[in-house]
Amino acid sequence: EDQVTQSPEALRLQEGESSSLNCSYTVSGLRGLFWYRQDPGKGPEFLFTLYSAGEEKEKERLKATLTKKESFLHITAPKPEDSATYLCAVQLNSGGGADGLTFGKGTHLIIQP
């Protein structure tokens, strides 16, 4: 069965303290891996798409990387406004539901001033 696992479930950092979030996947036929950010009371907000092992994408203090088994979301010198739940999702080559995404359970990130 296809599976997406995120770790840790929750992470508390001091402002400026860099860290990484992990998303491991066991799927057959990965079309793409997606990272989203979700703030309380809002819908997931798209951050990155990664399609092949070795690919990297950056946006401000965030960098996403992909291997054949996992993806990392690196957060460099985070600020309190980076506090959110970060969701990882996979899209399968088979379509997996008309191209729908299968999500992990998320990492709840808190950045303390």
Residues near other proteins (CB under 8 A) are 31-32, 34, 36, 38, 41-46, 49, 85, 87, 89, 91, 97-103, 105-106
How buried is residue 77: exposed, middle or buried, by Cβ count under 10 Å (0-12/13-18/19+)?
Answer: exposed
Judged by beta carbon, residue 75 or residue 89, the one nearer other proteins is: 89
**What is 49-93 written as a DSSP string?**
EE-STT-EEEETTEEEEE-SSEEEEEE-S--GGG-EEEEEEEEET
CB of 113 to other proteins, least distance (A): 24
CB of 84 to other proteins, least distance (A): 12
Q: How far is residue 2's CA from residue 37's CA, in Å, rounded to a whole number?
A: 22
CB of 23 to other proteins, least distance (A): 14
The length of the chain, given as a count of residues: 113
Judged by beta carbon, residue 18 or residue 93, the one nearer other proteins is: 93
Judged by beta carbon, residue 34 or residue 72, the one nearer other proteins is: 34
